[in-house]
Structure 1
Amino acid sequence: MLRTNKEKLVQISVCGEITHPKNNFPRITTEGKVKFLPGTGGITYNVMLGDKACGFVADHVEPGVSISNSDTMNNNGLNILTSVGNTAKVISGDAKGDLGYVTGMHGGIEHVLVYFPKETLEKLTIGDKIQIKSWGTGLELEDCPDVKVYNTDPDLVEKMNIRVLEDGTLEVPVVTTVPAHLMGSGIGAITAHRGDYDIMTADKEAFDASNLGELRFGDIILLEDCDNSYGRGYLKGAVSIGVVVHSDCVITGHGPGVTTLLTCQSPKIKGVIDPKANIGNYLGILK
């Protein structure tokens, strides 16, 4: 039984609007080519939770629905208080009342990403308001005080098949492990309470060595020697667990984005390979 302090956490509403896609400049690829591509924002009808995160003719594309607020302080609240797995409800427009789930946060653009079923996507429009029952900020694992939890709904944590071993180590199902030298854009961020950072793709041999081309949106992965305790950086022996939130990218230093879920400065998190370790399976979305 995974014991947490969830009964002490505050459930509080946050809200954002579906954003318009952002694309006001060309991308320069790692080969020096100039490309105009779909990217962040909007409603993506054919890029969904569970799809492969690599291979779309796109750059940083976000699955499902992307929301934010034009007011910076309000958007800070949306991004910091929201957790992966929180329930989301459409509160305006033709899809009013329909439900979905938060699947991640995308730093830099400061978007919260939300899954809705395809029938809901067809009713949504840019500008529709999405309200989230935020819950998870301050979550702690009572038997593992050295492990910090970020951006994770307490109910999702309980569904992730995490085991606490006798020595206090957490055993977490993951799809694969990623070496620290592949982590790029987002390193140096002052907090992991929001946003993500990217797995770099420019070195194809290194990327393929961990079978990262098969990653899917929602996959849970282990980041080796990565400390996300008070920001993001390299620390030998540290371990972080994250979820894949956006697609691969053509620009240097970028790639599939990873939002932090768990982190420890010592090797007290152990990954166990499980191809089904995806939040879509835990939330009952993927069949």
Structure 2
Amino acid sequence: MLKTNKDRLIIQSVQGKIHHPVSAPSPYRISHEGIPHVLPATGGITYNVKVGDPAMGWVGDHIEPGVTIRNENTAENAALNTLSCIGNEARVVSGDAKGAKGFVTGTHGGVEHVIIYFSEEDMEKMAVDDKILVKAWGQGLQIEGHPEIKIMNIDPELFLKLGITEEGGIIKVPVAAVVPPYLMGSGIGSSSAFSGDYDIMTADWDEVVKNGLDKLRFGDIVLIKDADNTFGRGYLKGAVSIGVVIHSDCIKMGHGPGITTIMTCKESKIHGVIDRNANIANYLGIK
């Protein structure tokens, strides 16, 4: 088993409220083909989309599965998004669903949302503005003996459930798919990958199908080739990044399913092992 520094990491509370969906004065979203659409998008409680479901094919744009939270204080929301890690326990602390527990499943850049899984039964009791507390734990996680590999945005216990192995100085990670670098779009050039996500572009559908990305699901773990997320997001030959699919496909040019980074290395010391069951739902017991 991999050895990590998880016993020395801080567990700290961060909190937000279920965020109401918002709309610009004009309701239209323009597709990459120049066609205007009026569609559901980010925010709120999305009742019929959950982790493990397909990330493609929904009549929506940037759909966030489950429950979306944010904090209206800008600095506090930055901490909520930076410190919340995929797999962290979340607990409802106000409203009719008070006491219900779920898991963080991703952070969405641009809108600066934290996305959380709860059971269907618990979501039926929730309302916009209900407060949700996250036991934030994971930033600063390291694999002992591998300082060149940066880990981020993932709960330490979940990380150890991913089936990662070490062989000859190489870290092998089960992944559902491999993404070529030329398909990475919105989010490239961000100054940090310690929150938010960046998108797999899907305007070239033939290329998406060729790489098996048409079958992506929310929660899938993917490998991105030649992608350095160490101090931001960009292209670097030989670099490797691992991430989790956190929101749906999109109609906008340069956009598509969002990927929150959980591992990155400037060298080719992370290898992917294809496993269609490499999805956080299977490690967190989400059905």
Q: Where does residue 120 of structure 2 map in the other structure? A: 118
Query: Secondary structure of 2:227's match?
Result: strand
Q: Where does residue 41 of structure 2 map in the other structure? A: 39
Query: Secondary structure of 1:248's match?
Result: coil
Q: CA deviation at 1:22?
A: 1.9
Number of aligned residue pairs: 285
2:250 paired with 1:259: no
TM-score when scaled to structure 1?
0.98
Q: CA deviation at 1:143?
A: 2.6
Unaligned runs of 5+ in 2: none
2:281 paired with 1:244: no
Query: Secondary structure of 1:30's match?
Result: coil
How many Å separate the matches in 1 of 2:13 and 2:169? 34
How many Å separate the matches in 2 of 1:267 and 1:26? 43
Which moves more between the two structures, 18-27 or 273-282? 18-27
Q: Where does residue 282 of structure 1 map in the other structure? A: 283
- The equivalences for 1:5-24 within 5 A come to 5-24=5-24
1:68-110 deviation line (CA, Å, top 9, x unaligned): 0111000001000110000000000000001000000000000
How many Å separate the matches in 2 of 1:282 and 1:22? 32
1:12-39 deviation line (CA, Å, top 9, x unaligned): 0000000001222411101111111100
Q: Where does residue 172 of structure 1 map in the other structure? A: 173
How many Å separate the matches in 2 of 1:151 and 1:84? 6
Query: Secondary structure of 1:151's match?
Result: coil
How many Å separate the matches in 1 of 2:214 and 2:236? 25
1:125-168 deviation line (CA, Å, top 9, x unaligned): 00000000000011111132211001010001100000011x21
Detail structure 1 runs of 4+ shifted over 6 Å in the superposition.
none
- The equivalences for 1:80-159 within 5 A come to 80-159=82-161
TM-score when scaled to structure 2?
0.98
Query: Secondary structure of 1:80's match?
Result: helix
**RMSD after superposition:** 0.6
Query: Secondary structure of 1:22's match?
Result: coil
Contact 1:143 1:168 in 2 (8 A): no
1:189-233 deviation line (CA, Å, top 9, x unaligned): 000000000000001111111111110000000000000000000
Query: Secondary structure of 1:159's match?
Result: coil
Query: Secondary structure of 2:160's match?
Result: helix
How many Å separate the matches in 1 of 2:110 and 2:39? 18
Contact 1:144 1:169 in 2 (8 A): no
Unaligned runs of 5+ in 1: none
Identity %: 56
Letter in structure 2 aligned against 1:68: R
Contact 1:23 1:38 in 2 (8 A): no
Letter in structure 2 aligned against 1:112: V
